Structures are given as C-alpha cells and as structure tokens.
Amino acid sequence: MRRILIAMISTVVALLAATGPAVAGPRGIPDRFMLQPAELGGAVPGPVEAGLAWSLLPQPCADRPIPRPVASRAQAADYDTRYRVYQNVTRFRGDGAQRYLADLKAQLTDCGAGGGDNGYDPVAEDHLGPDTVLFTGNYDQGDRWVAYVAAAVGRHVVVIMVADSRLGAGDPTLANGLAQSAMNRLR
C-alpha cells in the first residue's frame, strides 16, 4: 500500500512539474484595449508586418535602459489608401508606464535627430493630457517622417504610429485623434 501511495504521489508531482502552473505567464492585452474598425475608418486591424523598420516602443537613446514591459500587443491597419496606422499597447508593473514616458521625453530631448538626420524628434509634450508626447520618426535624411503619439494611462503605454505611403509625411492630427481614442479605451 505504501509503495502504491508513493508511486501515485510521484506521478502527480511529475505531472504538475511537467505542465507547470495554471497561470504560467502574464495575462495578455485584451481586445477591448485595441482600436476597432469604427475608430480606424472601417479598416479591420491585423498583425504588424514582419520587418517593420520603426519601433512600436521607441527608445531614441539606444544605450539607455527603459522599464521592462510585462505584456505587449501590436496591430496595424490601412486607415485609407494613404495611411498605415500602427498601435502598440504595453503593460508595465507599478509605475513603469509613467517612468517609460518620462524616459521617452528625456531621450527625445537628449538624442533627438534634429533636422536632416534619421531618428526621432520631439514635437509636443503633454498635449493630450499628462504623460503624453507627440514626436516624429525621421528617415531619408529627415525628408520623410512617421508621426508618433505615446501616452501612459495607468499601468499601460499606448503608442500610435501613422505612416504615409505616398508622400512619406505621417499625419500628426490623425495620430492625435487615434491616440485619444486609444487612451479612452484604457480608462
């Protein structure tokens, strides 16, 4: 009887060790936090294409650490025939979202590309409320850009990026409007 009991306990322990805990990793980002077709001009969002050149969690000063996210989810949609819209929602522990935004603002000031260079440049801070920043990602030696808005809402950071496939001039007004909708979803 004792051998059978030991064998059963060993089997249960082995099964538990092999399968791991029921909640093995952090929860993902729910659908309700992501922009929907009604907010995207009717476009159905899908996955971000492989090889996207621009970061959806920007870090202008590559040598400076940023808070580490717990979970992240990104999507993309063709807003109309001209714009490609990207959304990234990232969850941090504690005050990590606000620290990321403070670090991003400082990095944009310290490591901004300036006119005529590739990289990031600040445009406006706290323009949609506290913990928000509007900036550009410049390419082709500064002749073209994508528009970014990043915002911290609670434990989350939302980043909206708008790229223009025709002229290479992202629309900051569109980015601001979509960022406001995305921020409302996180509240």
- pLDDT tens-digit series, residues 90-146: 999 999 999 999 999 999 999 987 766 789 999 999 999 999 999 999 998 888 999
**pLDDT the model gives residue 115:** 64
Quick check: 20 pLDDT over 60? Answer: no
The C-alpha atoms of residue 179 and residue 47 are separated, in whole angstroms, by: 18
Condensed to tens digits (0 to 9), the pLDDT of residues 56-91 reads 999 999 899 899 999 999 999 999 999 999 999 999
Residues near 135 by beta carbon (within 8 Å), at least 6 away in sequence: 58, 108, 120, 121, 122, 123, 148, 150
C-alpha torsion angle, residues 94, 96, 102, 105 (rounded to 10): -160
Q: How far apart are the first and last CA of the chain?
A: 58
Whole-model pTM?
A: 0.84
Considering only residues 7 and 130, tell me which one the structure prediction assigns the higher pLDDT.
Answer: 130
Strands 156-164 and 144-153: antiparallel
Type and span of the H or E element at 148: strand 144-153
Q: Which amino acid is at 93?
A: R
Residues 139-168: b if buried by 16+ CB within 10 A, e if exposed: beebebbbbbbbbbbebbbbbbbbbbeeee
**pLDDT the model gives residue 116:** 64
Q: Please name which of 177, 126, 130, 157 lies closest in space to residue 59, comparing C-alpha atoms.
A: 157
Fold category of 30-186 in CATH: Protein Transport Mog1p; Chain A (3.40.1000)
Pair 101, 152: CB distance under 8 Å? yes
**pLDDT the model gives residue 174:** 98
Residue 11 pLDDT level (bands cut at 50, 70, 90): very low
Quick check: 47 pLDDT over 70? Answer: yes
